């Protein structure tokens, strides 16, 4: 069977994008696309794509989503009018490196080893979303 789904990139809907950029740049993601919020008039962003070698995250403001949906009352009813919290699960090659890079960020789940063979830790990024970072470990460890 032919692979129909090719890629999935989360779009995190937030009030302000700028606070999240530094969090992700600590982990090697860089803004590749930035769309200014022309209505704000203060240099704020309406949309950003942050990308690295294998990970991409997008942010869009609530105001920008609402502006995109104004043409369709059906879509307006389907989308939230406020930020929605998202929990991202990101597999990494070196969990200790992630922890070092995110020192000082809001830790919401200290490192643990799961029954399914992953060492995991989680941080709240500045916009309120949760990023769980996980590294495969030997089964039965911890």
Q: Along the 142 residues of the chain, how does pLDDT read in single tens digits?
A: 788 888 889 999 999 999 999 999 999 999 999 999 987 778 899 999 999 988 999 999 998 888 877 766 666 666 666 777 899 999 999 999 999 999 999 999 999 999 999 999 999 999 999 999 999 997 554 4
pLDDT of residue 142: 47
pLDDT of residue 3: 85
How far is 17 from 126, CA to CA, in rounded Å? 9
120: number of Cβ within 10 Å = 20
pTM of the model: 0.85
pLDDT of residue 1: 76
Which among 46, 68, 83 is the end of a domain? 83
Please check whether residues 93 and 141 belong to one and the same domain. Answer: yes
Residue positions counted in the chain:
142
Please check whether residues 54 and 1 belong to one and the same domain. Answer: yes
Q: Are 37 and 45 in contact (CB under 8 A)?
A: yes
Kindly provide the residue ranges of all beta strands, DSSP E only, lying in 37-137, ordered along the sequence.
Answer: 45-51, 56-61, 87-91, 106-113, 118-124, 130-136
How far is 137 from 66, CA to CA, in rounded Å? 43
Which among 68, 83, 98 is the end of a domain? 83
């Amino acid at each position: 069977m032919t692979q129909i789904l090719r890629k999935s990139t989360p779009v995190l809907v937030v009030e302000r994008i700028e606070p999240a950029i530094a969090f992700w740049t600590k982990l090697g993601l860089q803004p590749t696309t930035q769309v200014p919020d022309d209505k704000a008039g203060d240099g704020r962003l309406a949309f950003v794509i942050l990308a690295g070698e294998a990970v991409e995250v997008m942010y869009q403001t609530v105001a920008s989503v609402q502006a995109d949906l104004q043409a369709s009352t059906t879509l307006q009813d389907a989308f939230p009018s406020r930020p929605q919290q998202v929990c991202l699960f990101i597999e990494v090659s070196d969990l200790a490196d992630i922890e070092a890079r995110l020192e000082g960020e809001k830790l919401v789940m200290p490192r643990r080893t799961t029954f399914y063979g992953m060492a995991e830790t989680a941080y709240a990024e500045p916009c309120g979303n949760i990023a769980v970072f996980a590294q495969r470990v030997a089964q039965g460890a911890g």
